[in-house]
Amino acid sequence: MCLPFNIMASSNSSEAKTLEFHEMGLDDRLLKDIASQGWEKPTLIQEKAIPLALEGKDIVSQARTGSGKTAAYAVPVIQKILTSKRGAREQAIRALILAPSRDLCKQTYTNIRALTRSCSRELSCVDLSGQVEIAAQRPLLMEKPDIVISTPRRLMAHLQAGNIDLRDSLEMLVVDEADLIFSFGHENDIKELVSYLPKIYQAMLMSATLTDEVTSIKQLVLHNAITLKLQESQLPEPDRLTQYFVKCVEEDKFLLLYCMIKLNLIRGKTIIFVEDIDRCYRVKLFLEQFSIRSCVLNSQLPASSRMHIIFQFNNGFYDIIIAAGDAYKFKATEQEEKKHRKDNSRGKGKKIPTDVEFGVSRGIDFQHVSNVINFDFPSSIKGYIHKVGRTARAHERGTALSFVTEEETELLTEVEEYLTDESGVCPLKPYQFKMEEVEGFRYRTKDAMRAVTKVAIREARMKELKHEIFNSSKLKMYFEDNPRDLQLLRHDKVLHPAKVHSDLKNVPEYLVPRVLKGVKPVTPKAKNKKYTPVKSKAMKHMMKKKADPLNSFTFQRPTKSSSKET
C-alpha cells in the first residue's frame, strides 16, 4: 500500500506559468459557462486541484474561505461526467456531494447549475436538502440524476428507505466543508454511509482546516489521497484587504455607522456583523430612521428565505446586509462540543439544535463584498478571521473596519498579535477618524435611538418572521409557476414598528465636515417658487365643479329694480 503524500502549493510561487482553464482539457460548453461567471483565471486551489481530480486522484484540500474550493471540485466533477456519458448506455447517479447544512447544499446546487447551463439537457442535478418529506423526493431519484447533493443525514434517510442505490454507479464522492461535518452531528451518518458506497470510487475532501475530524473522514472514505496544503495566510494579502479598527464607546458605534454611510465613506456592498439577532434588528431599525435600507440575515428564517436573501444581495438588489455572529459559530462551549461528539459516537448523543443544523453556515458565499464592518468585535481570533474573510475574495479588493469598545480592547490585542508577521508588521491599523468633525450629527443619532425600543425590536422580529414564513410556504407553488415574481420579492422592506423621522433622511449642508464637502452630494437648495397651499379633497372637488360650466351655473333671482325697468 502506497503512503499518501502532500503537495505544498505557495501563492507566491513564480516557478511555473499559471495554468489557465482552457489549458486543462475542459469541454467547450463548460469553458463557456466558466467565462459567464466572470472567472478570468483559476485561483491557486483550482489550478492545483482540477488537473489532479481529472486524473482520478483522491484529494484532501486545505484552503481558506473564499479561495474557490467549490469550483475546484465542481469543474472536474462536471467534466468527468460529460466524458463518461459519451459512451454510457444508461442513466445513472455518478457523483455525490455532501455538505453539512441545507444552506451549503442549496448554494452548491446553484453553483452547479450555473456551470451546466450550456449542457443542462445532458447533465442533471438534484438537491435533496429540503424540508419536504422523504417520499416526495423519491420521484426525483427514480430518474437517476447525474449529481446528487445532500446533507449526510438526509442521504442516509433515503438510503435506508431504499430510494437510492449507489453501489453500482457512483464514481465520485465530494465532502465539502469536511471540518464542519462532525460539528454538525453527522459523525455516525458518515460512518454508516461507507457501507452503502462501492468499493472503488474517487473521493475529494474540501476543508478550511485539517482537524482531527477531517483525518477521521479521510481514513473512512479516501485511499492514497493527495493532500493539497496551500502556503498562504488565512486572510488575503494587505494589497487586497485593508483592515482598520476604531476605538469608541457604545453610543459612538451608531454615530460612526450613520456618518460613514451618509457621508459616502462606505461604498459598495457591505456586511455588518453584530453579536445577536436582537442587535441585528436594532441596527436595522436605527438605519431606517435615516431612510437607509438594509436586510437582516436571521438564522430563524426559513432556509429558502435565507438563500433568497443571499442571492439578491449577491445580485445587487441591496447593498447592506446585517448578520448575527451566532449564526456563524457553534453556540456550545468547547467542552460541550467534545462531550456531544463523544456521546454521539456511543449512540447517546442528543438531537442537534436547529440553529446548528439550519443556521447560516461558514461556507456561504457572499460575492463582491466591498466592506465588512464588525459592529461588535468578534469574541475570538477564529471569528475575526472568518468574518473579515467575507471580503477581498478570489482576486477582488476589500476593506474591513472593526468598532472596539474598552471592554473589547483585550480581544483586539490578541488579534493584533496573531496577525503580526515575522517582521513585526501588523496589517490591522487604527482608522484616523476625528470625532469632533461629526459632533453635529450626535443629536440626530440620539433622536433615532430613542425610537428604537425593545418593543419595536420585538415587533419587527415578529413581523418579518411571519412575512417570510408566509412567502416561504403559502406562495411556494405560486413562485414555482411565476419565477419572475420571486425575483421581485425583496427582503429590505421598511419594518416601520418604530416612528421614522422623515426630516432625518437628508444631511444638511452645514453639518457636512469641510474636508468632505466634495465627497458627500448635498441635497440642492430649493429654488424660489410661489407658495402653493396644499389642497384638500373637498377643495379639489369644489374647484373641479366650478370648472364645469354646467355644474357651476347658478340662477340669480331678479331684483325689484330690474323688474321695474323691464
Using DSSP, state whether 555 is helix, strand or coil: coil
Separation CA 106–CA 129 (nearest Å): 7
Separation CA 93–CA 111 (nearest Å): 19
CB 203, CB 193: distance < 8 Å: no
Amino acid at 335: Q
Amino acid at 501: H
User: What mean pLDDT value characterizes the chain?
Assistant: 80
Residue 353 pLDDT class (50, 70, 90 cuts): very low
Separation CA 39–CA 321 (nearest Å): 25
CB 237, CB 285: distance < 8 Å: no
pLDDT given at position 222: 87
More confident: 361 or 481:
481
Q: What is the pLDDT of residues 433-444, one digit of tens each?
A: 888 888 889 988
pLDDT(374) > 90: yes
Separation CA 490–CA 50 (nearest Å): 37
pLDDT(138) > 90: yes
Residue 128 pLDDT class (50, 70, 90 cuts): very high
pLDDT(71) > 90: yes
Separation CA 360–CA 327 (nearest Å): 5
Torsion of CA 403, 408, 409, 411, to 10 degrees: -110
Window from 67-81, 212-226, 457-471 with minimum mean pLDDT: 457-471
Contacts of 176 (CB under 8 A, 6+ apart): 69, 70, 73, 97, 98, 99, 100, 104, 108, 206, 363
**Average pLDDT of span 256-268:** 92
The most confident of the ranges 129-133, 190-194, 232-236, 562-566 is 190-194
C-alpha cell at 173: 464522492
pLDDT(111) > 80: yes
Window from 4-13, 272-281, 545-554 with minimum mean pLDDT: 4-13
Strands 226-231, 59-62: pairing kind: parallel
Contacts of 354 (CB under 8 A, 6+ apart): none
Neighbours of 337 (CB within 10 A): 14
More confident: 320 or 68:
320
**Average pLDDT of span 219-244:** 84
